[in-house]
Amino acid sequence: MHLRIPIAALLAFAGGAAVAQTAPAPQTAAEKAADAQEVPVTRGLNAREDSQASAQQAASEAVQAQYEADMAAYRTSVQAHAQAVAQDEARFARQQRAYADAMAAWREQKRDCDHGVLKACKKPTPNPSDFY
């Protein structure tokens, strides 16, 4: 005959002693001596790490500030470029209108000349800059 005991029951009995809380064992003289040497070293290392973390945080903030300044300068540059492009486009449109107006004046002058108006024949060709 085989005995079948659930695993949970075995674990409950086996682990009972391990679950109970016990007070920490008192330190030995060797452990106290080791702590006396290690504690100052550990505190020094922790202080150095804190200092490095603070320096890294300050550097990170400086990098972020520079990044934001670069982005602001870029936006300003893009806006200035857009304004220059708009001015160039407006100037080009005025030049096109001036040329078209000069051509219209020249066609009228030529038509008058072709119809025998001598004054129209003697006039100089219209200059687009006069219509600008």
Check pLDDT > 60 for residue 89.
Answer: yes
Which pLDDT does position 65 carry in this prediction? 92
Structural domain count, the chain: 1
Query: Does any domain span residue 89?
Result: yes
Query: Does any domain span residue 2?
Result: no
Query: Does any domain span residue 46?
Result: yes
Check pLDDT > 80 for residue 98.
Answer: yes
Query: Does any domain span residue 35?
Result: no
Q: What number is the average pLDDT over the span 65-79?
A: 96
Which pLDDT does position 54 carry in this prediction? 86
Check pLDDT > 60 for residue 18.
Answer: no
Q: What is the dihedral of CA 28, 33, 38, 41, to 10 degrees?
A: 160
Altogether, the residues listed in the chain come to a count of 132
Which pLDDT does position 109 carry in this prediction? 97
Query: Does any domain span residue 59?
Result: yes
Q: How sure is the predictor about 119, in pLDDT bands with cuts at 50, 70 and 90?
A: very high
Q: Which residues in 71-100 are b (16+ Cβ under 10 Å) and which e?
A: eeeeeeeeeeeeeeeeeeeeeeeeeeebee
Query: Does any domain span residue 93?
Result: yes
Window from 26-30, 75-79, 103-107 with minimum mean pLDDT: 26-30
Which pLDDT does position 14 carry in this prediction? 56
Which pLDDT does position 7 carry in this prediction? 62
Name the DSSP class of 127.
P
Name the DSSP class of 115.
T
How do residues 35-50 score in pLDDT, each as one tens digit?
778 888 888 888 888 8
Query: Does any domain span residue 121?
Result: yes
User: Is residue 126 a contact partner of residue 112, using CB atoms and an 8 Å limit?
Assistant: no
Query: Does any domain span residue 13?
Result: no
What are the residues whose beta carbons fall under 8 Å from the beta carbon of 29, sequence distance 6 or more?
none
Which residues constitute the domain of residue 59?
40-131
